[in-house]
Structure 1
Amino acid sequence: MHYETLLVEIGTEELPPKSLKALSDAFTEQLTQQLREQDVAFGEVKSFATPRRFAVQLLAVASQQPDKVVEKRGPAIAMAFDDNGQPTKAAEGWARGNGIRVEDAERLVTDKGEWLLYKASVKGQSLADLLPSMVSNALKNLPIPKPMRWGAGSDQFIRPVKTVTLMYGSDVIPAEIMGVTSNRQLLGHRFHAPQGVSLANANDYESALESAWVIADFDKRRQRIVNGIAEMAQQLGGKVVEDADLVDEVTALVEWPVVLSATFDAEFLSVPKEPLIVTMKDDQRYFPLVNEQNELLPAFVFVTNIESKNPQLVIAGNEKVVRPRLADAQFFFESDKKVPLAERVEALGNVLFQQQLGSIKDKSDRIATVAAAIASLLNGQAAIAQRAGYLCKADLISHMVQEFPETQGVMGMHYATHDQEPEGVATAIYEHYLPRFAGDELPQTVEGAAVAIADKLDTLVGIFGIGQTPKGDRDPFALRRAAIGLLRIMVEQGYSLDLSELVQLSQNSFGNILTVPAEQLHTDVVDFLLGRFRSWYQEQEIAVDVIQAVLARRPTNPVDFDQRIKAVTAFRELPAAEALAAANKRVGNILAKVEGDIPTTLNEALFQEEQEIALAQAVQQAQTVTAEALDQGDYTQALTALAQLQEPVDAFFDHVLVNAEDEAVRQNRLALLHMLRELFLQIADISVLN
């Protein structure tokens, strides 16, 4: 057995840029997994991906599987021989199937009996024999939603396959994959090296392609682009508008990146920067530039796939292409300004939100009402929140937003400013869409937060109210995202609001159009919101039992919920936590079996043991301390004080019989345990802590 570098490359027509890296990673994973399953040893693994190929290079790959000894168990001895000691038909058939005689078989002796045994030496298959089917299987298992056919063959793949290269050291491994025979010819750069390049050895893969104007390593190509655009931006006195996804997409579009810059007419800067940035990035894959004040500069950086002898021609061509797109944005902006946002609101009555829930105008009216109430609860300006809620969806029917949907909200802010609406109204219109995704910024104004919460609540309550709750992966109205966004606003901004009260406000705004019974709807929405805490905190690596301990008490104020989570997390690390969690579970089990009412006060005259007297005193002292801490919302201090109960609790259970024969004594001890349990339940059910 010997070891060489293995290369597997699939050359294709241009692959979809947004799925290139995922396809490459999946192919590498599929191939390496099969090599492990077939017990073929290999060392370092490296993936490559360009617009016209993906490849895997593996170092120190074994030339074949190791030889193995395979044990094949036969019939039990009792079944293998008859009373005369002669082999039975079962034994002879088994031996014949293994190519041996019964008398040649070994014996397998265990504590459960004795069996015939054949040990067969199996020679490992060569890599050359194994690899073709491995590659075919890896390609078939790639995540391709819509495969295509080409030519007269029956093979299907994401794009037509042009070349296949399976090389082990300097040898080509014979194979036919997707109708293409494996050889050492690699696709070069489409324009600079259309003749391609012949690969002498699998170790030379990167350098061979680089000689053919292809940087095969995705990460190296990406870093070259990142460095190039940063250097170009610095030369132009600006900085690039960061967009990692755009960098990835451009990396997947070029094989030999060349970074250039171009300019556009400064007159277009009269248009808000957001739509200009959107059209440059989304339509042209350009990198817009801003100055230190975050103002758009009349210049952009772009990446081309050609090392042109006359780059000015390439630059002029890109400047010519971008001008009509910017001119469109300018036209939309000037046209939209002629119609005030307030006049657009009535037209929203013709735009459907949801068949049973009415139009976007109906939704805007509800948002305005609820936002005003929330702003009042937060000591904000109700009139500003109400006006912003009323106007927040008006830009949806503007020319700009219809052309560039990503600019909704931000264009509403600009149009509101143009219409001389109060600054708070304009800001709240923009902020009401926040957060748009995980980790996104949050509304920074009370009024913006009020409108954002009202909008998300309206969707949640409305969709739940007509019985269209999320099921499995189906969530067409993005209710889970809305719920997480709503919770983030309240928790991270410290807005002390009650979910139960908020849901009721939203329910009231719908009148009588909802079909789910009001009480059930209220419970379902609040439970759904509380349920989002589980996934949110798990992403923050909060222990599941901590989340369950707090959820068991169902606190409906998100800020309060968060404070309890932090307190229980800290309590869980205390030395006394494990014993007290176990004690609470024991107390809970005892109380659950009690029939009838438990006394709410203690009768000190009924105490018989010093340990129950000590626990009663400790509980009464803890009640005083925790009451003061809870008045200040300091759950951590309260649980820290309750941790001091470990010793008297342990002593109580070691020396005191709860179920005393004397009924009065038993009831008094149950009352003490009930008081102890209620102390903890003010914060969380710590009995569920592991």
Structure 2
Amino acid sequence: MDALLIEIGTEELPPRSLRALAQAFGEHLRRGLADAGLTEADAPLAVFASPRRLAAQVANVRPQAADRPAERRGPALKAAYDADGQPTRALLGFAQSCGVDVSALETLETNKGAWLVYRHTQAGERLTDALPRLFDAAVKALPIERRMRWGDGEHGEFVRPVHWLLALHGADVVDFTRFGLSSGRATRGHRFHHPQPLDITDAARYAEQLMGAHVVADFAARRQRVADCVREAAAALGGQAVLESALLDEVTALVEWPVAVSGGFDADFLAVPAPVLIAAMGAHQKYFHVVDDEPRLLAHFITVANIDSPEPQRVRAGNERVLRARLADARYFWDTDRQRPLIERSAALDGVVYEQRLGTLADKTLRVERLAGLLAGELGADAAHTVRAARLAKADLLTHMVGEFPELQGVMGAYYAQHDGEPAAVCAAIREHYLPRHAGDALPPSERVTVA
């Protein structure tokens, strides 16, 4: 039995959902094939995902499902014959619908009476007949929040416009039409390194042939390649790259042929808090930051290009120019925000609605402040520090920095509080009070945060 390969070629897919889309497509396709008797439920499955394609490869797919016994129940025996023992219209109609004579029907005894049934062998469904239906079901089941229409809208919906459709069973094309396209064996290689169409000779050689066209189709293999080339580039700079998992996944979903390019920025920017620089590099630019053995942030970054450029210095210069502007903005926010004490911003929270029925953030702050003070006294925590932390906890939401980098709420509040001379315990409580941010995250160690 040969492998079945289905590839949907598209415009650039959303990076954050790419891997989940490919996995869902493959699993739904395999389940449909198994339900149709064309493969086993545990048949080996390989999924492929890159910015321009979703693909699934299911092993051991039959060209036709096995024949199976089938039984079709007709009228009850007592309603099948009249008083003279002649077939009734109900019985004759049932036999005619089955395409057989009444004599070909059998009697089925049940605890609810006897019935006439037609038993026969049903031919197994052919893959060529089943695949269009199974493909539609797999596409419909994908976790796509918003589906797109393109052109005149008559070719269906998908997460992005579809430009080609590949369907192979072994070396044979499985013909069907979807999205206004006929399936075939042609795919596309890398947009720049191999722009011409590429014919896949056999479903089993898909990943191998795409690799020759400068596309690492397997997401996990491409992710490892990204990690390896980023580590190597950081080592050449005398540092270590910090490979945060979510960023690594996103970068992997943005490239088909990853090539690491190192760059640097003015060391003067290191005066800005490291979390800000890291957010500017990672969240905004999709760069990996570099640290030394301490680990202290270094004035370097690693970006991953989707092309093996003959002029990497131009790629480096372009990325450095973009990052320089980002960091200049961040330094401006840092300098500007520190000109106004955090406590002054707390009063302005009365202009920020928390929830329509619960008032503003200033109202919430006052409630938390009062409750925290009472609980701190009961639990033996430092009441003054606890109340002060509650008063300042949300004030950084009104800073320029948190407006630009919302993920730094709490973190920047701690930096600004430290600059204002607040006690270290208060600064720590401001930083920690959002913990845990997600399942499995660390709990706040400070007793003042536990109280609040």
TM-score between the two structures when normalised by the length of structure 2: 0.95
- Alpha carbons of 1:345 and 1:105: their partners in 2 closer, same or farther (altered >3 Å)? closer
Q: Counting helix residues as a fraction of each chain, which structure ranks higher?
A: 1
Partner of 1:31: 29
Shift of 1:392: 1.6
CA distance in 2 between partners of 1:423 and 1:103 (Å) = 94
- Structure 1, gaps ≥5 residues long: 455-690
Shift of 1:279: 1.3
Shift of 1:172: 0.9
3-state DSSP of counterpart to 2:13: coil
3-state DSSP of counterpart to 1:107: strand
Partner of 1:78: 78
Partner of 2:316: 315
Partner of 2:390: 389
Give the counterpart letter for 2:410 in structure 1: G
3-state DSSP of counterpart to 2:125: coil
State the Cα deviation string for residues 23-59 of structure 1 (Å, max 9, x = none).
Answer: 1111112211211221112531111111000111112
Q: How does 1:308-457 map to 2 (within 5 A)?
A: 308-450=309-451, 454=452
Q: How does 1:103-502 map to 2 (within 5 A)?
A: 103-110=103-110, 113-154=113-154, 155-450=156-451, 454=452
Give the counterpart letter for 2:85 in structure 1: G
CA distance in 2 between partners of 1:228 and 1:39 (Å) = 44
Partner of 1:659: none
State the Cα deviation string for residues 68-110 of structure 1 (Å, max 9, x = none).
Answer: 2212233333322233332222222221221222223233345
- Alpha carbons of 1:110 and 1:414: their partners in 2 closer, same or farther (altered >3 Å)? closer
CA distance in 1 between partners of 2:38 and 2:379 (Å) = 65
Report if the CA contact (8 A) 1:224-1:257 is conserved.
Answer: yes
TM-score between the two structures when normalised by the length of structure 1: 0.63
- Alpha carbons of 1:83 and 1:359: their partners in 2 closer, same or farther (altered >3 Å)? closer
| 1:13 counterpart (11, 14, 26) | 11
CA distance in 1 between partners of 2:368 and 2:69 (Å) = 73
CA distance in 1 between partners of 2:277 and 2:230 (Å) = 19
Q: Residue 101 in 1 paired to residue 101 in 2?
A: yes
Q: Which moved more, 1:70-79 or 1:269-278?
A: 70-79
Report if the CA contact (8 A) 1:256-1:305 is conserved.
Answer: yes
- Structure 2, gaps ≥5 residues long: none
- Alpha carbons of 1:360 and 1:72: their partners in 2 closer, same or farther (altered >3 Å)? closer
- Alpha carbons of 1:370 and 1:109: their partners in 2 closer, same or farther (altered >3 Å)? closer
CA distance in 1 between partners of 2:64 and 2:247 (Å) = 43
CA distance in 1 between partners of 2:111 and 2:358 (Å) = 72
State the Cα deviation string for residues 422-445 of structure 1 (Å, max 9, x = none).
Answer: 111211111222222222222222
Alignment length, in residue pairs? 449
Identity of aligned residues (%): 47
CA distance in 2 between partners of 1:427 and 1:105 (Å) = 83
Shift of 1:113: 4.0
Report if the CA contact (8 A) 1:256-1:306 is conserved.
Answer: yes
Give the counterpart letter for 2:117 in structure 1: L
3-state DSSP of counterpart to 1:174: coil
Give the counterpart letter for 1:147 in structure 2: R
Give the counterpart letter for 1:379 in structure 2: G
Aligned-residue RMSD, C-alpha: 1.8
Q: Which moved more, 1:342-351 or 1:179-188?
A: 342-351
Give the counterpart letter for 2:133 in structure 1: S
Report if the CA contact (8 A) 1:64-1:127 is conserved.
Answer: yes
Report if the CA contact (8 A) 1:28-1:47 is conserved.
Answer: yes
Q: Which moved more, 1:362-371 or 1:326-335?
A: 362-371
CA distance in 2 between partners of 1:98 and 1:390 (Å) = 80
Shift of 1:125: 2.3
CA distance in 1 between partners of 2:29 and 2:62 (Å) = 15
Q: Which has the larger radius of gyration?
A: 1
CA distance in 2 between partners of 1:338 and 1:77 (Å) = 94
Give the counterpart letter for 1:106 in structure 2: E
Shift of 1:193: 0.6
Q: Counting strand residues as a fraction of each chain, which structure ranks higher?
A: 2
Shift of 1:186: 0.5
Report if the CA contact (8 A) 1:378-1:446 is conserved.
Answer: no
Report if the CA contact (8 A) 2:36-2:125 is conserved.
Answer: no
Report if the CA contact (8 A) 1:68-1:122 is conserved.
Answer: yes
State the Cα deviation string for residues 440-468 of structure 1 (Å, max 9, x = none).
Answer: 22222222332xxx3xxxxxxxxxxxxxx
State the Cα deviation string for residues 300-345 of structure 1 (Å, max 9, x = none).
Answer: 1111100112222211211111000001000100111111112222
State the Cα deviation string for residues 604-654 of structure 1 (Å, max 9, x = none).
Answer: xxxxxxxxxxxxxxxxxxxxxxxxxxxxxxxxxxxxxxxxxxxxxxxxxxx
Report if the CA contact (8 A) 2:10-2:161 is conserved.
Answer: yes
Shift of 1:386: 1.5
CA distance in 2 between partners of 1:140 and 1:349 (Å) = 47
- Which structure ranks higher in relative contact order (CA pairs < 8 Å, sequence separation ≥ 6)? 2
Shift of 1:8: 0.6
Shift of 1:296: 1.5
Shift of 1:215: 0.6
